[in-house]
Amino acid sequence: MKKDAGFDLVLQAPTALPLALIDWAAEAGAEGWEEIRHLPPVYRLCHVRTPSEAAVNLSQQGFDVALVPHARRLQDVCVVAMDMDSTLITIECIDEIADMIGIKPQVAEITERAMRGELDFKESLIARVALLKGVPETALAAIYDTRLVLSPGAEAMLEAFHAAGAKSILVSGGFTFFTERLRTRLGFAHTTANTLEIIDGKLTGRVIGEIVGAAGKAAQLSAYKAKYATPDKPLAVAIGDGANDLMMFQAADVSFAYRAKPKVRGAATHAIDHCGLDAIVNCFC
């Protein structure tokens, strides 16, 4: 059966905002509109013909706006690949580890520059991890138990993808100590991250094995798309926030920049700046 052609404009916000749907539909040249959820508001302007100006105006009013193919279905997704730090979770784990020895500002500054794409990720990770030498292994568990918080909507998003038959993978430039716990907790099919060397219960300041960076993330997504894609489920989705997610975006069919750096936001298919991760699901029928 041939799928419907054309594009829809999906608009959503985390809180109630003034609505002018009739005017917005007219501005976007939409054939009509439908309410996906009343509160927080999610609406779809159907078969839009002039979306650009409407999208800009809606974004300025606090909505996340996505121009999506009318035929795109959640059931089309075979695999969804996620970044961990500042995407799946609200923290940067390496910065919190540094906080345990009072050097969070120094490490966080390097992290921020790396995520903006101003520093080579591999070299910046080696430098940051070296500063963690001597941190007790127990600090990692304390961070997971007391500081690690899932981003809003993370569980609902993953549940929706899993229910639609998609596999989820967690691909991170962070650390296996955290990704493995999240795999068990959230049902990821696979995780990839860096392994901190620990001897006598303390971090040595080194990473074991090859560092997972931008190329490694993209390779993982490509490998799992090759494994899971079928004619009925052809789409690979990538979600991230930093410069080391850009190659993964290129390997994906649909990419989402979640509260991302400007460079990353501009490279993604869609950007989620206001809502939680569950907003991603609404960009599919």
Task: Confirm whether 83 is a catalytic residue.
Answer: yes
Token pair for residue 115?
């995520």
Residue type, 248: M
Whether the per-residue pLDDT at 189 is higher than 60: the answer is yes
Could you read off the pLDDT of 121-172 as tens digits, one per residue? 999 999 999 999 999 999 999 999 999 999 999 999 999 999 999 999 999 9
Task: Confirm whether 85 is a catalytic residue.
Answer: yes
Helix (H, G, I), strand (E, B) or coil at 197: strand
218 touches 121 (CB < 8 A): no
Token pair for residue 240?
């991230």
Token pair for residue 33?
């509109």
What is the predicted pLDDT for the residue at 2? Answer: 40
What is the predicted pLDDT for the residue at 3? Answer: 52
Whether the per-residue pLDDT at 1 is higher than 60: the answer is no
pTM: 0.96
Lookup result for tokens 């994906």: 252
Mean pLDDT of 259-270: 95
Nearest to 44 by CA among 74, 21, 20, 11: 11
Could you read off the pLDDT of 245-264 as tens digits, one per residue? 999 999 999 999 999 989 99
Q: How far apart are CA 112 and CA 86, in angstroms?
A: 11
Active site residue: 8, 64, 85, 278, which one?
85
Span between the terminal Cα atoms of the chain, in Å: 16
Alpha helices in the chain (DSSP H): 21-27, 51-60, 93-99, 104-115, 121-130, 138-146, 154-163, 176-186, 214-228, 246-251, 262-267
Active site residue: 8, 64, 83, 95, which one?
83
8-state DSSP, 6: S
Q: How far apart are CA 83 and CA 168, in angstroms?
A: 11
| 105: Cα separation from own chain's centroid | 24
What is the predicted pLDDT for the residue at 241? Answer: 97
Mean pLDDT of 265-278: 97
Q: How far apart are CA 77 and CA 165, in angstroms?
A: 8
Mean pLDDT of 68-86: 97
Residue type, 193: A
Q: Where are the domains of the chain?
A: 1-71, 74-285
The string of DSSP letters for 171-190 reads EEEEEHHHHHHHHHHHT-SE
Q: Was domain 74-285 assigned CATH 3.40.50.720?
A: no
Whether the per-residue pLDDT at 19 is higher than 80: the answer is yes
Could you read off the pLDDT of 214-238 as tens digits, one per residue? 999 999 999 999 999 999 999 999 9
122 touches 247 (CB < 8 A): no
